[in-house]
Structure 1
Amino acid sequence: MKKKSRKKKWLWIVLGIVAVLLLSTGAYAYSIYHSVRETFNQTEEPLHREKSSQRKEQVNLNQNDPISILLLGVDEREKDRGRSDSMMLLAVNPKTNSVKMVSIPRDTRTEIVGKGKVDKINHAYAFGGVEMSIETVENFLHVPIDYYVKVNMESFKDIVDAVGGVHVQNPFSFSSGGYTFKKGELDLDGNEALAYSRMRKQDPRGDFGRQERQRQIIQAVIKEGASLSSLTNYQDILDSIAKNMKTNLTFDDMIRIQKNYKNASGNLQQVELNGAGEKINGIYYLSIPEKERSSVSQMLRKQLGI
């Protein structure tokens, strides 16, 4: 189990926008507040269950219970549900002011709960959407998932354009999606950011490298979205979020998390699931050894206090 400390703070897009509200004052902020509430009323998509089967009691945000959030970056196009392009599980403990973030490689071979077969973990979304993805990840890591945030990566470029583009630090030169990305600091528009975040085959770290670029883009969006200059463009940002994001977090949940859990983001630790690639019937999979899976599972359960 490989761990790496992260000094940079990053939160979900939704919490970044909420932070803007908390920093704003006056009648203008009042107008923004109601626009944001209306936006996140549109993004809310509850799960069919009340709580995870992995929990005895439902979490209480007012009591600062540790929580888990599954971040799904999905590749959806018109008339096509697509697959989960990126899966990251956050275990947030406000009592220890810490966050453990596990990146789950898309090719991970595991049981797809509800489908009755073993397949790549990202296929769970194609078979059964968010619900099947959540149940499959819970079964794989033996931890509860309390909340999810799903972002459509195909349309994520709209959010990047809405904040006026993003700045990233590229560790090496590569070409992707018809664009050439030089090493060093880059200014990217929406289409460029999408191509930058999707590259995988040229990266020596494969899926882990792509997930790192996706995190870069999300961090950059939050940074731009939280700047004062973006307040004049907030409606475009909110429109993009309304179209491209779904979550079972209510607006009031987001306010509670921003208030009670935000300090935990200062101590974020990234955890990678390491395995070996293999071909089975001509199909490539990443097989995670049981010892590795169990070690990560125990770490997450301890983080969640279960």
Structure 2
Amino acid sequence: MKNKRKRKWKIVGFSVLGIFIIGMAVFGYEYYQLQPKNHFKKVPVVSSGTSNSANPALAMTDIKEPVFNLLLLGSDQRKGDKIGHSDSMILIHADLKQKKFEAVSIPRDTRVHLDGYGYTKLTSVQYIMQSEKGAQAGVEAAVSAVSDLVGVPINYYVETNYWGFQALVDAVGGIDMNVPYDVTLTHPWYSENKNKEITAGSHFFDGKMVAEVVHERYSLADGEYSRQRMQEEALKGLAKKALSPSSIGSLPSLVKSVPDFVIATNMSTSDMLSLGLSAKNFNPDTQLEYHQIEGEGKRMYDDILKANNYQLVIDPEKIEELTSKYF
């Protein structure tokens, strides 16, 4: 009887050990597959950088190195609304091999041509196409408009709104953010923050206050360009917090909750995890370079609104100079 019991526990022990080894092998394989050099061998092409973009559902391209372009879109869509404008746009050139990121803010008021409609502001493209053809057509049109403007392909996009951004910041427990200017909240999302003043310097913000700060532009000396700088600082603070050594273990659960923050994206869960692994211990001072595109503000005729409004005219040569150097 004693020998039988010993054999029984040996069998159980070996079974548990076998399950453990198999589990570790599976985990090791998945971790290996998530490494950027292994994961990003093919990437989608949402827009090719010309008006003749490929079908976003079908276009894929092989890449030798994990290098691609990602567009971050911030919509002004409010709770209960089904459509919104592209209020903030940041194009990121991600070189995961070098762990370097180039980011350029795309001004919302940039004058663009929308096929079949005429000239209008970039911010209006998504709204028009959403209202006529639905949410997916709207975001794809916005991505294509940015891609055509800067003349580079866009592989991935992630769209959120201010409520989603607020929830994302709260999900990581708030962030430390450098506010480069004194800010007065003239058009807050929350009425209790009307005319609240925030001094320049480092602040700890919850999601609610970050959403307020990155929305403000009217009280800033350089308007939209100053707001772009604040959005840059908010993204730095968020990335540093989410990708810090103390938070990296929570990255999988954070990625799983992405539907709570994101309106639309063509990135899979594994895409996001691989991107996060490539940027752990993120240091914006050494890994991120930020750029802005200057233009000339004019009152011009908007073919969609059938009226004159403020539009930003950008010199194509300046865009080409920037993209050829950094993208």
Same fold (TM over 0.5): yes
Amino acid at match of 1:289: D
- Paired residue for 1:180, among 192, 197, 201? 197
Of 227, 240, 247, the residue aligned with 2:265 is 247
Aligned counterparts of 1:170 and 1:264: Cα–Cα separation in 2: 18
Moved more, 217-226 or 252-261: 252-261
Partner of 2:90: 88
Tell me if structure 2 keeps the 8 A contact 1:167–1:188.
Answer: yes
**1:56-94 deviation line (CA, Å, top 9, x unaligned):** 983336x31531111111111222311111111112335
Alignment of 1:39-118 (within 5 A): 52-54=47-49, 58-60=60-62, 63-77=64-78, 78-94=80-96, 98-113=100-115, 115-118=116-119
**Pairs within 5 Å for 1:190-205:** 190-205=207-222
Aligned length: 257
**Distance of 2:153 and 2:248 partners within structure 1:** 36
Correspondence for 1:270 among 267, 283, 290 = 290
Letter matched to residue 84 of structure 1: S
Give how far 1:224 is off: 2.9
CA contact (8 A) 1:66 1:93 kept: yes
| Whole-angstrom distance in 1 between the partners of 2:100 and 2:288 | 6
Corresponding position: 1:295 with 2:295: no
- Indicate the structure (1 or 2) with the bigger Cα radius of gyration: 2
CA contact (8 A) 1:64 1:261 kept: no
Superposition RMSD in Å: 3.6
Percent of aligned positions with the same letter in both sequences? 26
| Greater relative contact order structure (CA < 8 Å, 6+ sep) | 1
* TM-score normalised by the chain length of structure 2: 0.66
CA distance in 1, matches of 2:97, 2:173: 36
Unaligned runs of 5+ residues in structure 2 are 1-22, 35-42, 130-137, 189-193, 301-306
Which stretch of the first structure deviates more once superposed, 102-111 or 212-221? Answer: 212-221
Q: Write the letter of the residue equivalent to 1:100.
A: E
Q: After superposition, what is the alpha-carbon deviation per residue over 1:174-226, rounded to whole angstroms, capped at 9, x for unaligned?
A: 21022221222222222211111111112222212112212222222233334
- Equivalent pair of 1:75/1:154 in contact (CA under 8 Å): no
- Which amino acid in structure 2 is aligned with residue 295 of structure 1? E
Task: Give a deviation string over 1:232-251, Cα, whole Å, max 9, x none.
Answer: 98899557632221321122
The normalised TM-score by structure 1 is: 0.70
Contact preservation (8 Å) 1:59, 1:65: no
